[in-house]
Amino acid sequence: MHEQFLTVNRDIQIPADGLRFFYVRSSGPGGQNVNKVSSKAVLRWNPETSLSESVVLRFQKLFPRCWTNDGEIIITSQRTRNALKNKTDCLEKLCKMLQQAAKEPKFRIPTRPTKSSIQKRLQDKAMNAQKKQERKKIRCE
């Protein structure tokens, strides 16, 4: 049996059977059609089974509003009046979010200012202070 995958990048592939879709009535334009047709797509997925812990933690940090208390991700789409287009939109949103979470942040090496830059800054401060002192009125006593 051939199992289908949602390929995010070469490292992340999500089994399609782990993605659950529900269709509900959407808000917005559509007239009476809104009251009759369930075209809003809701994607529910538990990432713990197919993602590494570091990617899950970055995903939680980047997109905290998508998470439920049970550890599931919920993504919705109601851009169009077509349920299948909304489903593909949900999948595209999930892929973009996962690509963002998959990028490891660059490790920053803290640096110190050079001696010459410190000296230049102090000289500039002294010149500024002298300039302001010269602007003051001279008092004669």
Query: What six digits make up the tokens of 117?
Result: 């830059």
The model carries a pTM of 0.68
Q: How confident is the model at residue 50 (pLDDT cuts 50, 70, 90)?
A: confident
Chain mean pLDDT for the chain = 85
| Residue of 91, 80, 12 whose CA lies nearest to 44 | 91
pLDDT in tens, 16-42: 778 888 888 887 666 777 777 888 899
pLDDT in tens, 7-19: 777 777 777 778 8
The CA distance from 40 to 87, in Å, is 8
The CA distance from 56 to 46, in Å, is 10
Name the CATH topology of 5-102: Double Stranded RNA Binding Domain (3.30.160)
Tell me which of 122 and 66 has the higher pLDDT. 122
pLDDT recorded at residue 134: 87
DSSP-assigned letters across all residues of the chain: -PPPEEESSSS-EEEGGG-EEEEE---SS-TTHHHH---EEEEEE-GGGTS-HHHHHHHHHH-GGGB-TTS-EEEEE-SSS-HHHHHHHHHHHHHHHHHHHHSPPPPP------HHHHHHHHHHHHHHHHHHHHHSPPP--
